[in-house]
Amino acid sequence: MARIFIVGSGTPSPSPSRFGSSYVVVAGDDHLMFDCGPAATHKLVKTGLSPIKIGHLFLTHNHFDHNADLPCFLLTRWDQYTGREKQLEVYGPYPTEEIVDGIIGPSGVYSWDWKSRVAHPMSQTAYLHRGGKLPRRPPSLAVKNIKPGKVCAGRDWEVTAGPVEHIQPLMGCLCYKIATPEETIVISGDTRICDSYVEFVQGADTLLQMCIHHQDYLDANPLGSAMTGTVHAARIAQDAGVKKLVLVHQGFDLEAPASRARALRDVADVFKGTVVWGEEMMEVP
């Protein structure tokens, strides 16, 4: 059975307990990472997971709370790379290719970093100490802009991108379904409630769904046209026949004990399956 780790479970507004989005699914021998929000690399290590183990990175969209740690993650994974690890594959909606190239490509903003590490004897010595062999190679990874549909597959898993409604057409946005022989997991990214998304989620064993605010707050302002709160997260899970709903991407207004208790009551009034309140660095039970 796959293991699911919540690395980041917050929003663009940092709080002491959460900031940005990032999740890891371990399926067989493969580590699949979804989104790379603020401090994701550090929190990944604190969770007990190594950046080197991540073979695939999938971005739901390119808001900074979902991709701000890309420079750190891409450089860390390359810097610790010895040449024997799997090449990193990165997938996401437009403009993922352009962003990754702008970070770590031959003329990217961090090209001065990796070029100096490739060429300088000090960095070459550190690379040899880690088990690498000279000459040290520039960063090499496969990156692809994608749309809804099958993305890629491994021996024990298959990833499909699905439709969401968030801020299109200003930016491409996706969700992801991870299918293994034992179960199906869906990671929502950011979305409002919509029929196409509910259809995509249908029958999932586990759904990681954004729950940014109390639903009445969202319904009273434009936020509700782009994101899900308590009741809509629950309705998606109930209508799709989900077994386990994991609430993530929570806003800081839900952190107070009384506010969280109300949120969980509102969810339980609609969704009759298992509910998990997501916390950073949690392995989903």
The pLDDT of residue 22: 98
Domains recognised in the chain with CATH numbers: 3-283 (3.60.15.10)
Q: Which residues have C-beta within 8 Å of that of residue 25, sequence separation ≥ 6?
A: 2, 3, 4, 5, 31, 32, 34, 157, 178, 185
Look at the chain and count its residues.
Answer: 285
| Two structure tokens written together for 150 | 């099958």
User: Tell me: the pLDDT tens digits for 38-71?
Assistant: 999 999 999 999 999 999 999 999 999 999 999 9
The pLDDT of residue 223: 86
The pLDDT of residue 83: 79
Distance CA 35, CA 92 (A): 9
Distance CA 7, CA 65 (A): 13
Please report which confidence band the pLDDT of residue 86 belongs to, taking 50, 70 and 90 as the band edges. Answer: confident
Q: Which residues have C-beta within 8 Å of that of residue 118, sequence separation ≥ 6?
A: 135, 136, 137, 138
Is the model's pLDDT at 1 over the cut of 90? no
pTM of the model: 0.97
12 phi and psi, to 5 degrees? -65, -15
User: Tell me: the pLDDT tens digits for 190-219?
Assistant: 999 999 999 999 999 999 999 999 999 999
User: Tell me: the pLDDT tens digits for 96-110?
Assistant: 999 999 999 999 999
User: Tell me: the pLDDT tens digits for 237-252?
Assistant: 999 999 999 999 999 9
Please report which confidence band the pLDDT of residue 85 belongs to, taking 50, 70 and 90 as the band edges. Answer: confident
The residues pairing with 270 across neighbouring beta strands, listed in sequence order, are: none
